[in-house]
Each structure stands twice: as structure tokens, then as C-alpha cells.
Structure 1
């Protein structure tokens, strides 16, 4: 009987097989996105490399290198998606989903390096202007680079948001930054054709600033994931769902955190002190059930049921000193 009572009023979790399958499928989607985008960017970079050899365009060379770097960011993210599919262990009890956040750090660093190289190339070109041959082909290659990067960016950002992967969104933002670099090449080629070669490095500097803004957004998103931040709207939604559950008299703390592209919840609820063990347990289970149906990326929830205290009894009195110390 004592063990049954402890079960009713201590945290418990019922993992859903359907949610686990959804998590694996979202990782599989992420891997497919990376495979497709990697192929698109490699083809675009190869086409640009041929035209670099024809034209001698330093700006296009930089754009081609950026596309190669963007394609390579798929490698750490693909590793993270693969690692994240491993089951939890006694050491990694929450699983390996946070590998995506580590990959996100690598991606942010690559964006920073990309922006630094773009700025350096622009300054060098500003100090030492150079002529460019085959401007028509350079412009065409720049358009190819922009279209490829923008398509990849939209694809990665869309799927990243759908599966809740901040790292994949950051990778999409990186692709968009490289698309801006391609536009700089295009504008520079047009200006060169009009007899204004100095416009190319000036535009390159402006694009570097744009890349820095992309870097800021990507870094902020990854930072928030590392700090276990969530959209406050999710907390509001969870509280509404909990409050609407039959048998819930009050809500204690509601905590959500991202682990990779999956959410986990920890919830404290208040139930009637006169409920039986089975009835209290049923309220906790129903709360978890409703949460997992209403929050699409929620993979698991731990619900802690506390009895109400009409006589003023503090059921957590032994824990007060420990909680104050924390």
C-alpha cells in the first residue's frame, strides 16, 4: 500500500510509442533535407568553379567557397541527427538529442568564419581592384548561386521549424547568408560592366554586414536552446490545457525544455486530498495525455500530483529548506 501511495503522489511518465516514432521520423526528415541540400549546393559550387577558371573573378571564387562551406555544414548536423536517434542510456538518461545544439554551435562558427572571409575579400578587392573577364558568365553563376542558396535556405528553415530543430533553422539562415553573397557578386559584375569596378568591394562590405545580422539571429536561436528557453506561448498553452483537465484544482510549476527537436515537460498539479489513489493517478494520466495530444512536439511529460490542503497542511514542509538553498 505504501508503494502505491508513493506512486500516486510522485512524478511518473508514460512515454508514447507514437511520439517516439514521430521523433525518429522527424530525424529522418532532417537527414533527407540535409542530403538534398548538400547535393544542390555541391552542384552549384562546381558550376561556379568552372566559371571562376574562365573569368578569374575573385568574388565568384569567394562565393563558390562559401557554397562549399555551406554544404559542409550538413556534415555535423547529419551526425547530430544520426546520434540523436540513439536510445537513452543510464549515462545519457534524456537521450542524445542535445547533439543538435552542439552542431548548431559549429554552424554558428561557420557562419562567423564565412562573414569574416567575405569581409576580408571585400577589403582586399577595395584596396587592389582587379579586372574580371566573361562578366555575363559571372552574372549567370551568381544567379545560380543565389537561387540554389535561397531554395536550400527555405527548405531547411521550413522543415527545421516543422520538426523543431533550431540547428537546421540556423543552417538555413547560413544558406541565406551565402545567397546574399551571390547577389553581391551579381551586383558587382553589373557595376564592373558599367565601368565602376570599385562598386564590387563596396557591395561586398554591405553584404558582410547582412551576414552579421544572420549570424546574430542564428546565434540567438542556438543560445536560447542551450539555455533551455521556450516560447512563452507554449507555457500559456500548456497551462490552459492543464487547467481544463477534470480533477485538476490548481497548477504548480510548468516546465518545458527542448532536447534536440523534441519537447519534454515537467508539471505539478493539485488534486483533491480526498481522492483515492486510483482517482489521483487517473487525473495525472489524463493531464499528461491531453498535453501530449495538444503539443505536437511533446515527446514525454512527467506529472507530479499534490493533494490540496484545506486544513493548511504543507505537504512539502520537509523540502522547504532544500528548495530555499537551491
Structure 2
């Protein structure tokens, strides 16, 4: 059995998440009180969205800490998948919250209610400032980590929602257009579904051990087959463990009965090839010679 590691993981700092959590708790409390006092569904929906953000940010924060914990004999991968689970939970809650908002907004569109627009304007400005600051804090890490991206998306949609609520508040204040409030809620909710779906799909693929979308299995097989004396590549599995690790395991049939030292040098060549060509950094190969087993590329275990 050959096994090899190429690591390029980046330590993601949890401090920025913690600041974002505190800011969001403040915004949620303010918007909840303001929404009740003003009668604004958009403000209450923004508060509900912010509350879901607080929970999702806490999940992200815990996952961030867990992912750094060492592996052990009964947890041989450690908690490396904690952040993927956090991304999955966060994106799922984003969609659920959006559906609830759409239901409420449709009811309010049918019978619009008067809204205290001054409170709406003031609190949406607070939301824009606080969420905008949080978005800037997490932007860098969001590009390289699925968990941080889920937290970043929650905060970014919050900021956009607060901008929409501010526009709605101004229109209600000057023109008395109270139907704007539920309409904005529907638009915010659709945006949440759109953002949440993509992340839900990506995190589901990782949790289901699907082959990463960027990898073409046939090309890997063809690439390995160029190394002599490889005869056949079969019983192949490729999966993504977390943000940094892509694993490949396969059985390789050899043309001749090679020695262990020969296998080691061939394995090294395979590891370098799949790492540089396909970004696979964990390779596990079972060498075979004249073994009677299925030579199919994908075997139903």
C-alpha cells in the first residue's frame, strides 16, 4: 500500500468570526425590537435572517475550532469534515428562512399594513454598517474555505437585505408605499434561496464522497497508464475530505512481478503526476500482478 500527503492547508483565524457574532447579536436584538415597534415585516424578516446568521456563525466558529483538533485512534480523520457539515447546515437554514419569509410576505402583500418608517430607516443603517464591517472581515477567508464562505454569504445577504430595507423605509417615509415592505421581503428571500442552493449543492457533493467536479476520472486513468509497467487501473475511488484534501485510491495491475523498491519509485511518480495535474494530494495504491479480480474502473463494492 502506498500512501502520500501533499498539504497546503491554511490556518483560518476564528477571531473575525467572533467579532461578527457579537455584532450580529446586537443587530438582531435592535431589529427585533424595532420591527415590533414599527410593524415592519421587512425589518422583522431581517431580524430573523440575522438571528439565523448568529446561529450559523456560531456553528462556523465551533467547526473552525473542531477542524484544528488532532486525529486519534477512534477519529482517524480528526474533525476535518466539521466545516463541511457547518456549510451544509448553514446553507440549508438559509433556504428554510427564505421560504418562511416568502410565506409571510405574500400574506402581507394581500393586506398591507402601515409601518413606522423612521425606525426602519435608522435600524437598516445600523445593519448596513455592522454587516458591512463583518463582510470585510471574512472576505479574504471566504475565497478559500467553504465554511467561511457560508458565514460570509449569510452576512453579505444580510447587508444587501439591510440596503433593501433602507430603500423601502425611505419610500414609505416619503410616499407612504407600504406594499414596498413585503415586496422587498420576497426579493430578499429569493436571493437567499439562490445563494444558499449553490453552497448546499457543493457541501452535499463533498459529504456524499462524490468525485470533485473539476476532476475527470478518465484523464487520471490515462495519465497513470503512461507510467511503465502499469497495465491496468481499476477499482478507483476519488473523493474530497475537506477544503484541502482530495483522496485517490485504486488497484493497479502491473505488467510484471515488480519488487517493492520498484513499486515505491513508481508510486512516487504516480503521486507527483496526480498532484501536479489534478490537485490530488492523498494517494493510496494497491499493487497487483496476475490477480483474478474485477478489472472494471468503478466497482460496486
TM-score class, shorter-chain normalisation, is 0.7 to 0.9
Q: Tell me which residue corresponds to 1:77.
A: 60
Q: Deviations over 1:107-153 (max 9, x none)?
A: 13421342134224424533553433453x63353244346546645
Question: Of residues 9, 12, 18 in structure 1, which corresponds to 2:2?
Answer: 12
- What stretches of structure 2 of length at least 5 have no aligned partner? none
CA distance in 1, matches of 2:258, 2:293: 23
Q: Tell me which residue corresponds to 1:278.
A: 261
Counterpart contact for 1:241–1:290, Cα < 8 Å: no
CA distance in 1, matches of 2:154, 2:84: 15
Q: Tell me which residue corresponds to 1:178.
A: 158
Q: Deviations over 1:154-213 (max 9, x none)?
A: 7656524414x3x43333333333334323312321321222111221222232222222
SS of aligned partner of 1:95: coil
Report how many aligned residue pairs link the two structures. Answer: 297
Question: Of residues 62, 66, 90 in structure 1, which corresponds to 2:45?
Answer: 62
Q: Tell me which residue corresponds to 1:188.
A: 168
CA distance in 2, matches of 1:67, 1:325: 45
CA distance in 2, matches of 1:158, 1:118: 30
Change (3 A) 1:251 1:185: farther
- What stretches of structure 1 of length at least 5 have no aligned partner? 1-10, 308-314
RMSD: 3.8
CA distance in 2, matches of 1:265, 1:30: 29
Q: Tell me which residue corresponds to 1:86.
A: 69
Q: Tell me which residue corresponds to 2:18.
A: 35
Residues 285-296 of structure 1: pairs in structure 2 closer than 5 A? 285-292=268-275
- Bigger helix share: 1
Residues 32-181 of structure 1: pairs in structure 2 closer than 5 A? 32-45=15-28, 48=31, 57-133=40-116, 135=118, 138-146=120-128, 148-149=130-131, 152=134, 156=138, 159-163=141-145, 165=146, 167-181=147-161
| TM-score normalised according to structure 2 size | 0.77
CA distance in 1, matches of 2:202, 2:227: 36
Q: CA deviation at 1:63?
A: 1.5
Q: CA deviation at 1:74?
A: 1.6
